[in-house]
Amino acid sequence: MSQQLPLFGDADAVDPAVVPDGLRQLGHRVPATIHLGTSSWSFPGWTGLVFAPRNGKPATEQVLARHGLAAYAAHPLMRTVSLDRTFYAPLTREAFAAYAANVPDSFRFVVKAPAAFTDPVLRTSGSGEAVRHNPSFLDAATAMVAFLEPAIAGLGAKAGPLVFQFPPLGRRLLADLPRLIARIAAFMAVLRSRVPSDTILAVEVRDPQLATDAFAAGLRDASATPCLAVHARMPSVAVQAAAFGLDHDACPLPVVARWNLHAGHGYDDAKQAYFPFNRLVEEDLDSRRELARLATRAAARGRAVFITINNKAEGSAPLSVEQLAAAIVNDSASHEP
């Protein structure tokens, strides 16, 4: 995945693409509490969809990473983006503030916590092979100083869900699920006690064994929100939503979902099959339908919704956003009296 770089100015600003009137009208019809967007924004293949060409050519990945956020946020459907680079290394308050300065007041950032606090092992930078125990795993004090405090201070009101994504945790930890759930819940409870009450702390897992009522209960006790992982490793959106209680009418939680990877693929082969990410290659109609249904029901009850989409979900994240927005609007219209 491309890593986003801090913004250093607007000398090389990228212009937004010219979008059809129908797309603008679609944006107006999506409820204001629903925030749709993508994972990162630095993809030259999105020229014409999100970005205007520069001097008749697509801007480079490096230029888009540094200077494309304002153009991205000008798109009528893009109300959020997932800052994924924070999974690999923390950012400073100033870097977060630079991002926030480039988007409108209604925009919200979904931010991934560093793997330093969610991966039980340290890994090599190349192959990702585990090399030894991670002493910072579930270290709430360090997570506050290195991640939460800079993100909340830098983004301010533009901070959306702060997502703690736990990679596959391995047989040793999964062998005692009650203890694992208790440890994650305790970690999140400490963080909750130290951040403003309106901060959305979300938890995403990549082990299907954790898509359970027991895990949902542990997160509720910690005042944390389950994040739906639409991923080849995980059960369907409907199964996860039911397990976490997100599909109940009385559920007070926001809907947070990250639509990451089409079933049957790994990231590398999906990237190869879908590049340059300018068209839908393999549509995932079931996931789209379920996400639209969840979003519609949540918005109708005043709950916030944050859904970010990766290029590896269907081939082109901006086009997936368009199709999901249309499905949400159609679903909303079908339930009007």
Of residues 227, 143, 139, 213, the one with CA closest to residue 181:
213
What are the C-alpha distances in Å from 152 to residues 134, 138, 161, 197, 314? 25, 19, 10, 12, 32
As a whole number, the mean pLDDT across the chain is 93
pTM equals 0.94
Full DSSP string of 62-125 = HHHHHH-HHHHHHSTT--EEEE-GGGTS---HHHHHHHHTTS-TT-EEEEEPPGGGT-SEEE-T
pLDDT for 293 equals: 96
The answer to whether the bond into 276 is cis (omega within 30° of 0) is: yes
Position 83 confidence tier, pLDDT thresholds 50, 70, 90: very high
The mean per-residue pLDDT over the stretch 31-52 comes to 97
CA distance 244 to 182: 16
Question: What are 246's two structure tokens?
Answer: 């997100």
Confidence grade of residue 264 (pLDDT, cut at 50, 70, 90):
confident
The token duo for 119 is 């991966």
What architecture is the 21-334 domain classified under in CATH? Answer: Alpha-Beta Barrel (3.20)
The arithmetic mean of pLDDT across residues 242-263, rounded, is: 94
User: Which pLDDT score, from 0 to 100, does residue 152 have?
Assistant: 98
- What are the boundaries of each domain within the chain? 21-334
How far apart CA 58 and CA 54 sit, in angstroms, is 6
Cβ contacts of 311 within 8 Å, gap of 6 or more: 38, 39, 43, 271, 274, 277, 317
Task: Examine the pLDDT at 112 and tell me if it is beyond 50.
Answer: yes
What is the C-alpha separation between 15 and 56, in angstroms, rounded?
Answer: 12
- Secondary structure class of 223 (helix, strand, coil): coil
3-class secondary structure, 214: helix
> Minimal CA–CA distance to 229: which of 19, 102, 39, 8?
39
Higher local confidence (pLDDT), 337 or 104 = 104
H/E run at residue 140:
helix 140-143
pLDDT > 60? residue 46 = yes
Task: Give Cβ neighbours of residue 235 (< 8 Å, ≥ 6 apart).
Answer: 208, 211, 243
